[in-house]
A and B are shown apart, each in its own frame.
Chain A
Amino acid sequence: MSENVNVFEDDFWSINEKLNELLKNTNSLSVLLIDKAGQLITTAGDISQLDTTSFASLSAADFAATSQLAMLVGEKEFATLFHQGEKQNIYVASIESRVMLAVVFDQRTTLGLVRVRVKQTVAELIKIFQAIFSKLEGGPGSGGPSPLGSDFASEAESELDNLFK
């Protein structure tokens, strides 16, 4: 199914570079890139205090629920979400309706700055993701042998047998 997001090494580094730039330019605490199914793609900044798996799953659910709210009022989706806390805030933006960029920040920066910088980063990330999606859909790999290797399925099966013994 071409819905899958497979991230290859080169793309991964250019994505990470953009996230680190955003982190620095906004003076935020952390930046997370999450797919719409709730899986974490990559992060930048200090995530030591953050349960990133839960964060990813809940943000995806949050975004999905908000998109439905958008439709109820006649919008296709709300492109961004903002959650304001006492000390920390979260700003989430959608990238090509398939990936989300979440920024966690505190009083050392402002919503205005985060908003402007996120907009720039989203525009840059869209280019990278469009390249990834076209690679997946039209590239030489599509429909061909799995990049995981042909014996992946059999190895996975024996690994599962071990795990559930």
Chain B
Amino acid sequence: MSLINYSSREINCKVVYYGCGLCGKTTNIKYIYSKVAPDAKGKLISLATELDRTLFFDFMPLDLGSIKGFKTRFHLYTVPGQVFYNASRKLILKGVDGVVFVADSQVERLDANVESIANLQDNLAENGFNIENIPFVIQYNKRDLPNIASVDELRSQLNKWGVPDFESVAHQGYGVFETLKEVAKKVLKNLG
């Protein structure tokens, strides 16, 4: 649910990073936070457990500058990946403008990815969205690990819609901004 304020000339959009537990959603946001200039970002909020597992969400506001005289700001959220936090995931998708699905490339996490993307589809539907219409990109994370599935295999299991997809190593920043840029582009295209 983008918010366009014609009076203060501001546009706010909401992007949610989705995926199974420990796939690297928070790592993506933290990397973006560490690289963005201080005047372009707000506070990073992490509602996490003492072991750094996301409990409710992480949140960071990111200013993209001015587009056609409108101050454009993205609100980046992550969901808690663990299966039993589904109620929270559903809430965070409320009013979403774009989704990044972060997949864990490790072979043993393939089933968890498949389950998570099905869960995303269900939760989007419950919020009145169709995965085929919403700005959506996929990121295959952890490409630096030894036991990973090939991109072709991941693509065939996860990307049946043929949406833009990216390889990444989120903790090193590889692929992080490419993913963000693509989803941001799609969200803004949707507004225009």
Chain A residues engaging chain B, CB cutoff 8 angstroms = 1, 3-9, 12-13, 35-42, 51, 53-54, 57-58, 60-61, 64-65, 68, 146-157, 159-160, 163-164
- The answer to whether B188 touches A38 (Cβ under 8 A) is no
A5 and B188 in contact (CB under 8 A), knowing A12-B7, A58-B45?
no
* B145 CB–A CB distance under 8 Å: no
- The answer to whether A153 touches B188 (Cβ under 8 A) is yes
Question: A164 CA to B183 CA in the complex, in Å?
Answer: 13
- The answer to whether B75 touches A3 (Cβ under 8 A) is no
* B163 CB–A CB distance under 8 Å: no
> A163: which B residues are within 8 A, CB to CB?
64-65
Chain B residues engaging chain A, CB cutoff 8 angstroms = 1-8, 12, 14, 42-43, 45, 47, 56-57, 59, 61, 64-68, 70, 72, 75, 87-88, 91-92, 94-96, 128-129, 177, 180-181, 184-185, 188-189, 191-192
A150 and B5 in contact (CB under 8 A), knowing A54-B43, A58-B45, A164-B177?
no
B16 to chain A, nearest CB (A): 10
- The answer to whether A156 touches B177 (Cβ under 8 A) is no
- The answer to whether A8 touches B45 (Cβ under 8 A) is no
Question: A8 CA to B42 CA in the complex, in Å?
Answer: 26
> A36: which B residues are within 8 A, CB to CB?
1, 94-95
Q: Which residue of the partner chain, among A51, A61, A149, A155, contacts B42 with CB atoms under 8 Å?
A: A51
Chain A residue, CB-CB nearest to B128: A3
A2 to chain B, nearest CB (A): 10
- The answer to whether A12 touches B42 (Cβ under 8 A) is no
A53 and B188 in contact (CB under 8 A), knowing A6-B4, A152-B68?
no
A150 to chain B, nearest CB (A): 7
Q: Which residue of the partner chain, among A37, A148, A150, A156, contacts B4 with CB atoms under 8 Å?
A: A148
> B70: which A residues are within 8 A, CB to CB?
148
A159 to chain B, nearest CB (A): 5
Question: A21 CA to B188 CA in the complex, in Å?
Answer: 36
